[in-house]
């Protein structure tokens, strides 16, 4: 079954690329002329090359893709081809691949799709003139983007993302945009950390009929909960309030009924025609082993999801943090092949597609170990990515490919804990690439 899945997955990707090829004129800079002539680098070859790219220079990537042939297209030819297609074309390919992969396999959690939302910064080539990305810190400053992503926890794949310049960063607004365009009919539970605490976020999720598990600032901080009379201990209760911007005797005289939003607070469901918005959600306060508390907002019912189940769901959110590390360093997202913002958006889509492909293949590989081993084991993802790239390029016997992936394992050590040491990471310059 695993080998059939691999073949079907590759066919799905090829079909998505062919589908984009049929309508590429909808996403081209010049629809009447772009990709109309026969060239050394065809449209589908350009897409496949972008997906299979590693961390080498563009010239070496081209040589590898075309097997060091004398007819290998030049770097200039590749650059001309890549900027004919707008980033929206790549976004169409990414979302098409995500949707069609769900027809092959789709893991759910008690009938729900588990989604985690988080973001990660990635440095790009320095350009002080780019107001979206340039941060004027240190001696010279630097440029960075912020990738906001929705991660499907059960299937270990990305299902949507939105890129912002770090200078113009707004994570909650990015989440609202992704929630609004989420169209999958399967019920979903979204998990997020404290940075997404907002009445506006809760309202967007409720309006979309989605469930959520979002950490909030504690009752003793300056967050939403500080305005309510809540016990300084563990609790599981509900908050029911009416949001408004009006300062009247009615609203000012009933603080237990009304929550008055400040002018600087974004809320998309209040306007001249709608001056009040009723909202209700559940608040859970949990005592941790170290003696501190965390508060979680959710609209999951007590009957279906107990306190222990809420804890479990929130812990599952951490898998997206691991996925960002693999996306950036194993897949190679941090090694750009363009200094232009449009080219960077293309590469993010291509890297996301490759990540999803490799994770889906890895999840269908069978881990076989001897009895009584010291550790449990999982597939070595870095090795699997290398094998998947080779399979996409050359093709091979599917049984051998899966056996080769299953052969390379790494131990699972769940009890390891290390402090997070944040340190600045420079963009890797184009001149310093492996041959």
Residues 348, 161: Cα–Cα separation, whole Å = 9
At residue 228, does pLDDT exceed 50?
yes
Greatest pairwise CA separation for the chain in angstroms: 81
At residue 425, does pLDDT exceed 80?
no
302 and 348 fall within a common domain = no
The CB density around residue 30, as the number of other CB atoms within 10 Å, is 10
Tell the burial category of 368 from Cβ atoms under 10 Å away from its Cβ (0-12, 13-18, 19+): exposed
Residues 115, 182: Cα–Cα separation, whole Å = 11
At residue 286, does pLDDT exceed 70?
yes
Specify the pLDDT at position 3. 53
The CB density around residue 46, as the number of other CB atoms within 10 Å, is 21
270 and 358 fall within a common domain = no
Residue 428: inside a domain, yes or no? no
Pair of tokens at residue 229: 């009379």
207 and 282 fall within a common domain = yes
126 and 43 fall within a common domain = no
Domain termination site, one of 291, 320, 349: 320
316 and 335 fall within a common domain = no
Residue 419: inside a domain, yes or no? no
How confident is residue 326, by pLDDT bands cut at 50, 70 and 90? very high
CA dihedral sign, ordered 120, 350, 326, 424: negative
At residue 211, does pLDDT exceed 60?
yes
Specify the pLDDT at position 422. 63
At residue 410, does pLDDT exceed 50?
yes
Residues 289, 164: Cα–Cα separation, whole Å = 37
Residue 435: inside a domain, yes or no? no
For 3, 154, 241, the CA distances from 7, given in Å and listed in that order, are 6, 22, 53
How confident is residue 4, by pLDDT bands cut at 50, 70 and 90? confident
Specify the pLDDT at position 1. 44
Mean pLDDT of 253-265: 90
Specify the pLDDT at position 278. 96
84 and 59 fall within a common domain = yes
Mean pLDDT of 255-268: 91
Residue 422: inside a domain, yes or no? no
Mean pLDDT of 165-179: 95
216 and 294 fall within a common domain = yes
Query: CA torsion angle for 91, 94, 99, 101 (degrees, to 10)?
Result: 180
Tell the burial category of 414 from Cβ atoms under 10 Å away from its Cβ (0-12, 13-18, 19+): exposed
Specify the pLDDT at position 59. 94
Specify the pLDDT at position 285. 94
pTM: 0.93
Specify the pLDDT at position 375. 78
At residue 369, does pLDDT exceed 80?
no
184 and 285 fall within a common domain = yes
344 and 199 fall within a common domain = no
At residue 291, does pLDDT exceed 90?
no
Residues 122, 133: Cα–Cα separation, whole Å = 10
Altogether, the residues listed in the chain come to a count of 435
At residue 427, does pLDDT exceed 80?
no
User: How large a percentage of the chain has pLDDT more than 90?
Assistant: 76
Residue 295: inside a domain, yes or no? yes
Question: Mean pLDDT in the chain?
Answer: 92
At residue 395, does pLDDT exceed 90?
no
At residue 424, does pLDDT exceed 70?
no
At residue 240, does pLDDT exceed 50?
yes
Mean pLDDT of 344-373: 92
At residue 152, does pLDDT exceed 60?
yes
Q: How do beta strands 293-298 and 142-152 pair?
A: unpaired
Specify the pLDDT at position 2. 52
341 and 394 fall within a common domain = yes
Specify the pLDDT at position 289. 83
Give how many domains the chain has, as a whole number. 2
Q: What is the residue range of 183's domain? A: 106-320
Residue 411 bridge partners (DSSP): 377
Mean pLDDT of 89-113: 96
């Amino acid at each position: 079954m695993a080998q059939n899945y691999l073949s079907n997955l590759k066919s799905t990707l090829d079909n998505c690329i062919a589908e984009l090829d049929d309508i590429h004129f909808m996403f081209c800079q010049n629809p009447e002329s772009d990709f109309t002539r026969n060239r050394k680098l065809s449209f589908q070859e350009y897409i496949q090359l972008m997906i299979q790219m590693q961390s080498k220079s563009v010239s070496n990537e081209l040589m590898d893709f075309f097997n060091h042939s004398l007819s290998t297209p030049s770097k200039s030819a590749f650059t001309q081809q890549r900027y004919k297609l707008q980033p929206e074309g790549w976004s169409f390919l990414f979302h098409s691949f995500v949707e069609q992969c769900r027809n092959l396999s789709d893991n759910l959690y008690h009938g729900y799709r588990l989604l985690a939302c988080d973001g990660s910064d990635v440095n790009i080539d320095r350009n002080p003139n780019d107001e979206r990305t340039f941060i004027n810190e240190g001696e010279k400053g630097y440029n960075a983007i912020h990738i906001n992503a929705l991660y499907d926890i059960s299937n270990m794949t990305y299902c949507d993302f939105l890129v912002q310049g770090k200078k113009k960063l707004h994570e909650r607004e990015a989440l609202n945009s992704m929630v609004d365009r989420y169209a999958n009919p399967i019920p979903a539970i979204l998990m997020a950390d404290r940075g997404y605490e907002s009445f506006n976020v809760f309202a967007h999720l409720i309006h979309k009929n989605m469930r959520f598990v979002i950490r909030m600032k504690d009752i003793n901080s300056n967050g939403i909960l500080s305005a309510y009379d809540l016990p300084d201990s563990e609790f599981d209760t509900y908050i029911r309030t009416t949001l408004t911007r009006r300062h009247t005797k009615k609203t000012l005289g009933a603080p237990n009924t009304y929550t008055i939003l400040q002018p600087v607070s974004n809320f998309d469901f209040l306007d001249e025609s709608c001056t009040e918005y009723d909202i209700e959600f559940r608040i859970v306060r949990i005592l941790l082993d170290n003696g501190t508390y965390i508060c979680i907002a959710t609209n999951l019912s007590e009957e279906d999801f107990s306190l222990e189940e809420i804890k479990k769901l929130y812990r599952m959110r951490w898998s997206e943090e691991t996925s960002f590390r693999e996306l950036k360093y194993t897949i190679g997202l941090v090694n750009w092949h363009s200094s232009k913002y449009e080219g960077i958006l293309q590469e993010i889509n291509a890297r996301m597609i490759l990540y999803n492909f490799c994770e889906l293949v890895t999840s269908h590989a069978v881990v076989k170990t001897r009895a009584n081993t010291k550790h449990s084991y999982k597939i070595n993802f870095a090795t699997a990515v290398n094998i998947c790239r080779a399979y996409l390029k050359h093709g091979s016997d599917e049984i051998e490919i899966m056996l080769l992936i299953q052969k390379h394992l790494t131990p699972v050590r769940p009890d390891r804990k290390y402090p997070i040491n944040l340190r600045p990471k420079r963009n890797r310059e184009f001149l310093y690439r492996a041959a």
